Structure 1
Amino acid sequence: MKIAANTATSRIHSSSIFSDNDTIEKAMVNSDRLNHIANKDHNAPIGLFDSGIGGLSVYLHLAQQLPHERYIYYADTLHVPYGNRDSEDIKALTLTAVEWLYQQGCKLIVIACNSASAHALEIARQHYPQLPIVGLVPAVKPAVLASKSGHVAVLATKATLNGTLLDDVIATVASPSGTTVTKYFDPQLVPWVELGMPDNSETAQNLRQQLQLFAKDGIDQLVLGCTHYPFFKDFVQQEIEAQKLSMQVVDSGQAIAERVKQLLITNQLSAKTHASLDNNELETNAIAKNVRQPLVFYATKYDTSLDMLLPRLLGKHTPLRYYSYPDC
């Protein structure tokens, strides 16, 4: 398995997780990880990983439902986007990211990247058997259930559209109901989000035209199958209204947040709360006041454009801290 070199890889000790032949070493590593989870601090952070900033859309759902939790975000901006990479590259980069988050003491990790989930979720879970790892799959099921025309579309990266996770969902959910699923890929959508989504760009115009084509084909449910895409959800909905199209937009962020909350409770890993308030009361008060723990953000390649883009995407209620190594 080829591992792309980057600054994060050079600063973590991850060689053991890539050794498929040394069973003794692997057993020792797994034993260490069992202890890592068993001794986990309830207030340890939740880790999120994406090839870029798209996974922040998932973070926003998490922060809304679980504002008292701590979060650390790993953005592999050195290798974004993943959608055009081959499966082995995606696996290697994903394992590097998960190992980095593991080294930060994360109690649960969300692979907030559909491409990485499609190709590397299972291998990540194999390497970290006692660490809860949540992956993403496009929200085809709710789209199929809501569709009246029997035709839905999935916007996603090439890696996600060609992955087995999506095909499995289509085979088990869409096909039995006779629902047609159209797959659509535009390689410019992720870079467009990373650039701040200028609405006068060629990519924006292409998206407007594609919505018209979807409507002509009778598509009434549009699934945003990449974590970057919810950031232009408002743009899409405005265009749907302006063009008077009968189409709904679906993303999976809410379901992922609910899944994380369930896993924290099941594994008794929820953040400790003040003794004077029970969990429900504290959570309700925190959400009402928009109180959030600071988001720790790490990028494998720093760009000054992040200083403007991140506050814009995250909103005023998200305190933001950049991660830096002690020797930097």
Structure 2
Amino acid sequence: MVRIAVFDSGVGSLSIIQEMQKTFKSEIIYFADSQSFPYGKKSQAQLKKIMRKSINVLEKFSPDFIVVASNTPSLMMNLVTSKIFDVKPPLNEAKKLSKSKQIGILATESATKSKRLSKYIQKNIPKSFQIFKINASKLVDLVESGKFVTEKKYCIKIIKKELQVLHENQIDVVTLSSTHLPFLKKYLQKEFPNIQFIDPGNIVAQKIYSKIKNKQSKRNSLKIFTSGNTKEFQNKLLKIGIKNKVNFLSF
């Protein structure tokens, strides 16, 4: 049985996990480090410490692979090994899809300000393209708080306010470069019907599948842990239809 550990600072991992479960069968250990939410407002030094602790605690489960299901640390530090997968903006896909050559990257505050993102863009996108780095931290909060389920009108209001830049330019492709953001995709598509929103979850799932396709499990299983309040996180998951028991996991 293939065992994969997936983690971030909250419910963002679930968008990656859902794509993984559609693509292949495995045992998944999901760790929501709620105590460290949000990653998007942490410094590189703080994130480095959090990543080291999280990976060390997940190694105790003896996973075959570990997925850092967050764009922010993936962009701000080099985490990839033969065992560790990360999530970065799918710029090659965006480049192929864009006709206006104007691409938006929705990411957290830390990610949009990081030099690593700038270097990543320079490496993957020709100078003929215009890239808009858009702070989506308030949208991440809509997902983590559960308001995207319970307060739809409020969500639409925040999306309109925070993403005015999408109306003001000829952006035709946007990467959802926080794993929380795919939960808002329906809202985004309704508000911006002429823009294609790319979720990198399937890309990550396909990369893992290429490694495990000949040794899949017979069925999917999911064990959930949090570093925060288990009842609060359980209630958060119930709002989005996930009934699995939540266990406490300490560093």
Give, in whole Å, the separation in 1 of the partners of 2:157 and 2:88: 27
Structure 1 pair 87–211 and aligned structure 2 pair: CA distance change class (3 A): closer
Residue 238 (structure 1) aligned to one of 190, 197, 212: 190
The question of 1:304 aligning with 2:231 is answered yes
Residue 199 (structure 1) aligned to one of 152, 160, 165: 152
Does the CA-based 8 Å contact 1:47-1:72 persist in structure 2? yes
1:87-120 CA-partner distances (Å, limit 9, x unpaired): 0100110111111111111110000011121234
Letter in 2 for 1:188: K
Does the CA-based 8 Å contact 2:234-2:245 persist in structure 1? no
Structure 1 pair 272–139 and aligned structure 2 pair: CA distance change class (3 A): closer
Residue 271 (structure 1) aligned to one of 196, 211, 216: 216
Kindly state the Cα deviation for residue 300 of structure 1 after the two structures are TM-superposed.
0.4
Kindly state the Cα deviation for residue 143 of structure 1 after the two structures are TM-superposed.
1.1
Does the CA-based 8 Å contact 2:234-2:246 persist in structure 1? no
Aligned match of 2:48: 91
Partner of 2:174, secondary structure, is strand
1:183-223 CA-partner distances (Å, limit 9, x unpaired): 0104322221111122232x541312444531331111111
Give, in whole Å, the separation in 2 of the partners of 1:303 and 1:200: 28
Kindly state the Cα deviation for residue 247 of structure 1 after the two structures are TM-superposed.
1.1
Kindly state the Cα deviation for residue 255 of structure 1 after the two structures are TM-superposed.
0.2
Larger Rg: 1
Partner of 2:99, secondary structure, is coil
Structure 1 pair 147–117 and aligned structure 2 pair: CA distance change class (3 A): same
Say which structure is richer in strand.
2
Partner of 1:118, secondary structure, is helix
Partner of 1:152, secondary structure, is strand
Does the CA-based 8 Å contact 2:92-2:124 persist in structure 1? yes
Kindly state the Cα deviation for residue 44 of structure 1 after the two structures are TM-superposed.
4.5
Give, in whole Å, the separation in 1 of the partners of 2:247 and 2:63: 14
1:22-42 CA-partner distances (Å, limit 9, x unpaired): xxxxxxxxxxxxxxxxxxxxx
Give, in whole Å, the separation in 2 of the partners of 1:324 and 1:294: 18
Give, in whole Å, the separation in 2 of the partners of 1:296 and 1:170: 36
Kindly state the Cα deviation for residue 236 of structure 1 after the two structures are TM-superposed.
0.7
Structure 1 pair 212–106 and aligned structure 2 pair: CA distance change class (3 A): same
Give, in whole Å, the separation in 1 of the partners of 2:205 and 2:14: 12
Kindly state the Cα deviation for residue 165 of structure 1 after the two structures are TM-superposed.
4.6
Give, in whole Å, the separation in 2 of the partners of 1:163 and 1:46: 29
Letter in 1 for 2:212: L
The question of 1:322 aligning with 2:228 is answered no
Residue 201 (structure 2) aligned to one of 253, 257, 264: 253
Give, in whole Å, the separation in 2 of the partners of 1:81 and 1:112: 13
Aligned match of 1:187: 137
The question of 1:132 aligning with 2:59 is answered no
Aligned match of 2:34: 77
Residue 169 (structure 1) aligned to one of 107, 114, 120: 120
The question of 1:65 aligning with 2:23 is answered yes
Structure 2: gaps (5+ residues):
none
Kindly state the Cα deviation for residue 47 of structure 1 after the two structures are TM-superposed.
0.3
The question of 1:216 aligning with 2:168 is answered yes
Kindly state the Cα deviation for residue 65 of structure 1 after the two structures are TM-superposed.
0.7
RMSD: 2.3
Letter in 2 for 1:195: S
Kindly state the Cα deviation for residue 272 of structure 1 after the two structures are TM-superposed.
5.0
Residue 72 (structure 2) aligned to one of 93, 102, 115: 115
- Of all paired residues, the percent bearing the same amino acid is 24
Does the CA-based 8 Å contact 2:105-2:133 persist in structure 1? yes
Partner of 1:144, secondary structure, is helix
Structure 1 pair 204–272 and aligned structure 2 pair: CA distance change class (3 A): closer
Give, in whole Å, the separation in 1 of the partners of 2:19 and 2:136: 25
- Return the TM-score normalized by structure 2: 0.89
